């Protein structure tokens, strides 16, 4: 299905309800909306072993104003509380929510008038939560409790505004952002952008990408794993010692997803990749060498009303993992057991 380019002018972003009507296919996933996508069947040969996920919380319902809901960006704080974003929440409804993973209770912690937040990540430098705003092309930071919102970065990068989707941090707190940039299926002008931790300088590390979505460092912080939504691929970008330039880049995995497309990425301590899927409520798990190890699945009766499992957070030092799942039945958080322990890079993005 052809997607619409997300508006980048201030007037176009003035109301999220209008944005949702005009440009929602470009947001969902955050990629294309798989209309009428079939519920997944059991794991097929070549998909590794099946890992069953169980429901933690029913967080959102479909919003009347936007006609959908889409949870993204799961991130755990030091107390084990989970934060998620609702990409398509309209003005006045919670756009950042806190979920108690023990009780399933949830509450809104932040909203605004125009933002469409597609990811969340905690900075190792200042401890603030950073959000990518797909609608305005900016990066916003808030305190973990939702207070003190600030625009961290906005404006053009190399003469062109961003359409930021996911983000990752290096150990020093510099940001690495997947810039979807083009939202037509045949466009390949997406980019990976590095933003210094003071927000003063932005550098394009890689371009010519087909709607880059997921982005996450490997366990050694030597390079970045990225996914390209409209190519269904994962690529590896090896960085130089200063992490200011790409020294090599190659396509590492092609995801045979059928109707599903590659969404966000998480890694565990062993370097395994957890690739979220848009169009199927499941997570494809690969080794760092590209072997399909497992598929994280929901119970069939739950999966029938859901369409995506966008992202994963694995608790640092533990194998407990959470995934954000959404569809016509609403937005949910599910829990599963990862193949290895989580690390900082496992948490959010």
pLDDT at 37 over 90: no
pTM, rounded to two decimals: 0.89
> What tokens were used for 244?
């200011």
Helix (H, G, I), strand (E, B) or coil at 71: strand
Query: φ, ψ for residue 346 (rounded to 5)?
Result: -80, -10
Q: CB of 282 within 8 A of CB of 295?
A: yes
* Average pLDDT, integer, range 32-51: 60
Q: 295 pLDDT band (50/70/90 cuts)?
A: very high
Dist CA 179 CA 190 (whole Å) = 6
DSSP state letters, 224-251? EEEEETTTTEEEEEEE-TTSSSEEEEEE
Q: 16 pLDDT band (50/70/90 cuts)?
A: very low
Helix (H, G, I), strand (E, B) or coil at 155: coil
pLDDT at 244 over 80: yes
Res 46: pLDDT: 76
pLDDT at 290 over 90: yes
pLDDT at 114 over 90: yes
The separation between CA 105 and the C-alpha centre of its own chain, rounded to angstroms, equals 22
Res 27: pLDDT: 57
Stretch among 16-25, 41-50, 121-130 having the lowest mean pLDDT: 16-25
Q: CB of 32 within 8 A of CB of 3?
A: yes
Report the alpha-carbon angle 91-347-129, nearest 5.
45
245-286 pLDDT per residue, tens: 999 999 999 999 999 999 999 999 999 999 999 999 999 999
User: Hey, what long-range contacts does 103-108 have (CB within 8 A, 24 or more apart)?
Assistant: 104/56, 104/57, 104/58, 105/57, 106/57, 106/59, 108/146
Report the alpha-carbon angle 237-238-239, nearest 5.
110
Name the average pLDDT for the chain: 88
Specify the pairing of strand 156-157 against strand 160-161. antiparallel
Q: 33 pLDDT band (50/70/90 cuts)?
A: very low
Res 188: pLDDT: 79
222-242 pLDDT per residue, tens: 999 999 999 999 999 999 999
Dist CA 323 CA 336 (whole Å) = 8
Residue of 6, 18, 28 lying closest to 263 (CA atoms): 28
Res 78: pLDDT: 83
> What tokens were used for 108?
């809104």
pLDDT at 86 over 80: yes
69-82 pLDDT per residue, tens: 999 999 999 888 99
Tell the burial category of 189 from Cβ atoms under 10 Å away from its Cβ (0-12, 13-18, 19+).
middle
Higher pLDDT, 183 or 59: 59
Dist CA 293 CA 227 (whole Å) = 18
pLDDT at 89 over 80: yes
């Amino acid at each position: 299905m052809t997607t619409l380019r997300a508006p980048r002018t201030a007037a176009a972003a003035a109301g999220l309800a209008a944005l949702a009507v005009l440009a929602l296919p470009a947001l969902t996933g955050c990629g294309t909306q798989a209309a009428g996508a079939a519920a997944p069947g059991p794991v097929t040969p070549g998909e590794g072993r099946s890992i069953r996920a169980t429901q933690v919380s029913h967080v959102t319902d479909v919003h009347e104003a936007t006609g959908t809901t889409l949870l993204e960006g799961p991130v755990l704080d030091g107390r084990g509380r989970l934060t998620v974003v609702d990409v398509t929440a309209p003005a006045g409804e919670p756009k950042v929510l806190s979920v108690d993973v023990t009780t399933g209770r949830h509450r809104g912690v932040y909203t605004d008038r125009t933002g469409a937040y597609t990811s969340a990540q905690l900075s190792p430098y200042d401890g603030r939560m950073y959000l990518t705003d797909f609608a305005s092309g900016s990066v916003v930071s808030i305190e973990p409790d939702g207070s003190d919102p600030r625009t961290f970065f906005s404006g053009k990068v190399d003469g062109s505004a961003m359409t930021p989707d996911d983000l990752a941090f290096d150990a020093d707190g510099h940001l690495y952002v997947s810039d979807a940039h083009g939202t037509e299926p045949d466009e390949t002008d997406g980019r990976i952008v590095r933003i210094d931790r003071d927000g003063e300088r932005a550098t394009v590390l890689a371009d010519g990408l087909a709607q880059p979505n997921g982005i996450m460092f490997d366990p050694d912080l030597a390079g970045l794993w990225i996914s390209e939504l409209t190519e269904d691929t994962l690529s590896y970008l090896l960085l130089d010692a200063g992490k200011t330039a790409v020294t090599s880049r190659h396509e590492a995995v092609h995801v045979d997803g059928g109707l599903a497309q590659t969404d966000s990425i998480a890694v565990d301590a062993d370097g395994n990749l957890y690739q979220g899927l848009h169009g199927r409520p499941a997570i494809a798990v690969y080794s760092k060498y590209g072997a399909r190890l497992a598929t994280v699945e929901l119970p069939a009766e739950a999966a029938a009303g859901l369409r995506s499992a966008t992202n994963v957070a694995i608790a640092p030092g533990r194998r407990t993992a959470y995934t954000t799942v959404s569809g016509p039945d609403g937005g949910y958080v599910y829990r599963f057991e990862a193949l290895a322990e989580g690390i900082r890079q496992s948490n959010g993005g």
